[in-house]
Amino acid sequence: MILWGRIQDFSIFAVLQFLAQYKKSGVLEIQDFEEYGSVFLTKGRVDAISLPLSDDLLGKRLVTAGALTEEQLRECLLEAHERDVTEPLGLLLLRRGYTDRATLQEIVNKQIHDQALELSNWRSGSFKFTIPERPIQFPITPSIDVQTLLLDASRRLDEGDRPRREKIVVEEEICLTCTVECNEHIKARFLKNDVCLWRNMPAIAKDHLFPGIRRGRRRPDEEDDFQDLPFL
């Protein structure tokens, strides 16, 4: 982990602009008490945005856009299930000749712009930016300029567009660090009477309360990263 902070102090857009300015590559992970998301960057440009609770899957978007029939989508999903493969849907569609790369690129590009609009709705929670040991590669990569995304989201908001999923704003943010990231050593040191002294906010330490939040993947050497963390 190289960067972390609170969204109520520094907006997601401000953090993205900071990362773009320094051309950083990695994953910006965001979360609050109800949702989890990730923004994938390469040299300061956005490759993908994942918001599982707010997003339509690629296949549904292709069908809605008329670029794919429901029957073709079912065939691809059935093939992937029967072969037990993890081949991305986009590559499977290209291999079968059901669509072309230009169409996929257009749909994925629209998907990222829609997700950027959803990010404008985040007012609280926490973020962290990490650099994976191995770069994350996507079969279809728009590589969109951060400033372009932010300007488009601002324009759509001015024109009356609103995020599809309304965020619940709480007066006091719940710290999910213990749920997702903390190990027993950190809990013993910082968690006192359900207050996280490290993050200086109320904490929830019971994993079963938030079953939808993905478990963090800690590298063997990551524990030392908690010492003298740079933060926003």
Best CA proximity match to 43, nearest among 20, 61, 60:
20
Q: Which distant-in-sequence residues (6+ apart) come within 8 Å of 60 by Cβ?
A: none
H runs (alpha helix) in the chain: 12-21, 58-64, 70-83, 89-96, 101-119, 146-158, 177-180, 184-190
Give, for all 232 residues of the chain, the pLDDT tens digit: 578 888 988 999 999 999 999 999 999 999 877 788 999 999 999 999 998 877 778 888 889 888 889 999 888 888 877 876 667 788 888 888 888 889 989 998 999 999 999 998 888 888 999 999 888 888 787 889 999 999 999 999 999 888 876 665 544 444 544 544 566 666 666 565 555 555 544 444 333 333 343 444 444 444 444 333 344 4
Contact (CB, 8 A) for 170 and 7: no
Provide the token pair at 3.
């960067």
Instruction: Please report, for the chain, the start and end positions of each structural domain, with discontinuous segments joined by +.
Output: 3-226
Q: CA angle, corner 28, sides to 212 and 178, nearest 5?
A: 45
Residues belonging to the chain? 232
Rounded-to-integer distance, Cα 72 and Cα 63, Å: 9
Residues 6+ positions from 115 with CB-CB distance below 8 Å: 49, 50, 51, 54, 55
Give residue 213's pLDDT. 39
pLDDT tens digit sequence for 78-111? 887 787 666 778 888 888 888 888 998 999 899 9
Residue 67 burial class via C-beta count within 10 angstroms: exposed 0-12, middle 13-18, buried 19 and up: middle
Helix (H), strand (E) at residue 4: strand 3-6
Task: Tokens 């949702």: give the residue.
Answer: 35
Nearest to 173 by CA among 220, 139, 123, 215: 123
133-163 residue pLDDT tens: 888 888 787 889 999 999 999 999 999 888 8
Phi, psi of 187 (to 5 degrees): -60, -45
pTM passes above 0.85: no
- The confidence score (pLDDT) of residue 203 equals 44
Check residue 168 and give its pLDDT: 56
Of 213, 212, 125, 114, which is closest to residue 164 (Cα–Cα)? 114
Nearest in space to 31 (alpha carbons), one of 43, 23, 21, 39 = 39
49: nearest Cα among 125, 141, 135:
141
| Structure tokens given for 172 | 């006091």
Q: In the prediction, which pLDDT does 129 show? A: 95
DSSP-assigned beta bridge partners for residue 145: 45
